[in-house]
């Protein structure tokens, strides 16, 4: 199980990178950026609970259901949670 959790943390780093790129696209007004973010968080919503990280699932769900104007703030909340888990092993 420890190995699976380690791999999940590695995958979180990739999701963080992808979300940060999509956030930059969103802030630049690129079309499709919000859809990209929602696609990534949909994956995180499912996997968070599977690995025992209910806070990922909750933040991802809130972001997935967010109105366009709420996306940046909710994305930042999710990124803080992801970084804490991925880099601090919480």
pLDDT at residue 90 tops 70: no
pLDDT band at 88 (very low <50, low <70, confident <90, very high): confident
Nearest to 63 by CA among 51, 52, 77: 77
In this predicted structure, what is the pLDDT of residue 5? 85
- Domain containing 78: what range? 2-88
Which residue do the tokens 């991802």 mark? 60
Q: What is the CATH number of the domain that holds 82?
A: 1.20.120
Query: Number of structural domains, the chain?
Result: 1
DSSP state of 69: G
pLDDT at residue 59 tops 60: yes
Nearest to 5 by CA among 48, 42, 56: 48
Phi (first) and psi of residue 52, to 5 degrees? 85, 15
């Amino acid at each position: 199980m420890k190995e699976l959790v380690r791999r999940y943390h590695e995958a979180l780093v990739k999701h963080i990178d992808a979300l940060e790129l999509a956030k930059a696209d969103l802030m630049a007004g690129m079309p499709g950026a919000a859809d990209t973010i929602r696609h990534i968080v949909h994956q995180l919503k499912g996997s968070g609970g599977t690995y025992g990280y209910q806070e990922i699932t909750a933040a991802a769900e809130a972001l997935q259901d967010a109105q366009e104007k709420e996306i940046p703030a909710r994305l930042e909340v999710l990124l803080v949670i992801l970084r804490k888990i991925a880099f601090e092993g919480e």
